[in-house]
Structure 1
């Protein structure tokens, strides 16, 4: 299967930026940051976008895996948290500017139970590109998935 390119272009001043995602349907979004990091907090920060990318990529990958496993899915609910020590990012201290830890709590309505649900979660995390970016970055990554009955 050929690779699929993902292309963004951006412009900005200071710490604020407008981003355009290229493709068949162009999409636009803005990024800023908290005042403590020099921004006006007028748009989500890139770090918030990374956590949103993580949860949405999990949901997309879950649909692909569910189809392969022959299980049904309903609504999802996610809470993702990234703990960042800003001393490297803001103050220039030695070390890694990455999150120290990322945790994901997920709930999904499904007909999968027991071992089937466990297999579903393991496979979606293995196949999710954004989950793999986080896991392979060396930070402490944990996720908890809870099945809920289909409504």
Structure 2
């Protein structure tokens, strides 16, 4: 299968930026940051976007895996938390500017239970590009998945 390019173009001043996602349909979003990091908190920070990318990529991956495993899924809920020591980012000290840890808690309505659900989760996390970015970065990555029955 050929690679699929993902491309953005951006422009900004100070710490605020407007981003255009290029492709068949252009999409636009803005980023800023908290006042403690020099921003006005007028838009989500890039770090918040990374956590949002993680949860949404998990949901997309889950749809693909569910189809492959003949599993039905309904609504998803996620919370994602990244713990960041800002001393490298803000203060310039030596060290790792990455999150120290990322925790994801997810629920999904599904007909999969037990080992079938465990296989579903393992496979969607294996196939999710953003999950793999976080896991392979060396941070402490934890996820907890819970299945809920599909509504009738």
User: Under a length normalisation based on structure 1, what TM-score does the superposition of the two structures give?
Assistant: 1.00
**Which residue is equivalent to 1:47?**
47
- Within 1, Cα distance between the matches of 2:120 and 2:71? 9
Q: Does 1:16 align with 2:26?
A: no
2:146 aligned partner: 146
- In the TM superposition, what are the counterparts of 1:115-130 in structure 2 within 5 Å? 115-130=115-130
Distance in structure 1 (CA, Å) of the matches to 2:119 and 2:26 = 35
Kindly report structure 1 stretches of 4+ aligned residues shifted beyond 3 Å: none
Instruction: Give me the whole-angstrom Cα distance separating, in 2, the residues matched to 1:117 and 1:103.
Output: 20
Deviation at 1:126, TM superposition (A): 0.2
Structure-2 separation of matches of 1:69 and 1:114? 14
Deviation at 1:7, TM superposition (A): 0.4
User: How many equivalent residue pairs?
Assistant: 151
Gaps of 5+ in 2: none
The CA RMSD measured in Å over matched residues stands at 0.2
**TM-score of the superposition, structure 2-length normalised?**
0.99
How many angstroms does 1:30 deviate by? 0.0
Match of residue 86 from structure 2: 86
C-alpha distance after superposition, 1:79-104 (max 9, x if no partner): 00000000000000110000000000
Residue 44 of structure 1 and its aligned partner are, at CA, apart by 0.0
